[in-house]
Amino acid sequence: MTVAERNVILLGPPGAGKGTHAERLVEDYGLVHLSTGNILREAEAAGTELGKQAKAYMDAGELVPDELVIGIVRDRLAEADTKQRGVLLDGFPRTIAQAQALAEVIAQLELTGLLVINLSVSDEVLIRRLSGRRMCDNCDAIFNLDRDGVDVGDDCSECEGGKLYQRSDDKPETVAERLRTYYEQTAPLIGHYTERGLLTDIDGNADADAVYERVIASLT
Ligand code: AMP
């Protein structure tokens, strides 16, 4: 089985590098990138009903209710390209209920080859990365103040016309709450997928290139 025929979940706390590695995996292997966070931020920016409902939870560092995100994922997975290209799930599932719903959808759609990569990163490294994270308002590319020497208002080097901004939930007051939410609601997924023999744990504390090599090694 090649990487393109796989469906990969990237699991890990906020700041673990899920988005960064997702971008590279999508580029290198053509997987469909399904980031619930990106979809919710786009809905919020577009002022849709979904965006309005999600905003208060996101601003508070809490999870958006399961039924909203499960609906998004179910709809996207049902599109034809997922079966041909394989899917990279970034930021979903985040609760046991979401994992159970995902298992049902995967079975219904006959998507095979699920594997879960867990990025383990210390709180100290997470907090440093989140405070330095900058994103493109056009293409969602991820940069870092320390690593890339870029800041808010700079032009995006990945697309035409994008400008970098700091996610409102990357500000220190929200970061602490997001980590608390992670340990309480998402970390139990590590045991859930380990018990099912699906999980590979990767030390994600190193720089992005070194971690990406480990990610690739776990896929091939
Ligand atoms: P992310 O970009 O993955 O860090 O997600 C940003 C925010 O979007 C999270 O802090 C949640 O409020 C919301 N969110 C993203 N994915 C999910 C999910 N699978 N379940 C619930 N809320 C989510």
18 is catalytic: yes
Q: What is the pLDDT of residues 123-169, one digit of tens each?
A: 999 999 999 999 999 999 999 999 999 999 999 999 999 999 999 99
Please state the pTM of the whole predicted model. 0.93
pLDDT (0 to 100) of residue 1: 43
| pLDDT of the residue at 5 | 56
| Pair 142, 19: CB distance under 8 Å | yes
Domain annotation for the chain: domains and CATH numbers: 3-123+186-219 (3.40.50.300)
- How much is the mean pLDDT over the chain? 94
pLDDT at 113: 86
Q: Which of 55, 74, 167, 214 is catalytic?
A: 167
Segment 171-199, tens digit of pLDDT: 998 999 999 999 999 999 999 999 999 99
Q: Is 214 a catalytic site residue?
A: no
Determine the atom of ligand 1 nearest the C-alpha atom of 36: 16
More confident: 113 or 24: 24
Angle formed by the axes of helices 208-219 and 18-29, nearest 10°: 60
What does the DSSP assignment read for 146-168?
HHH---TTPBPSSSSS-BEE--G
User: H helices then E strands: how many in the chain?
Assistant: 11, 8
Ligand 1 mutation pick, 52, 57, 64, 77, max ligand atoms within 8 A of CB: 64
User: Which residue's CA is the closest to the ligand 1 atom numbered 15?
Assistant: 37
33-66 pLDDT tens trace? 999 999 999 999 999 999 999 999 999 999 999 9
CA distance 218 to 201: 9
41 Cα: distance to centroid of ligand 1 (angstroms): 9
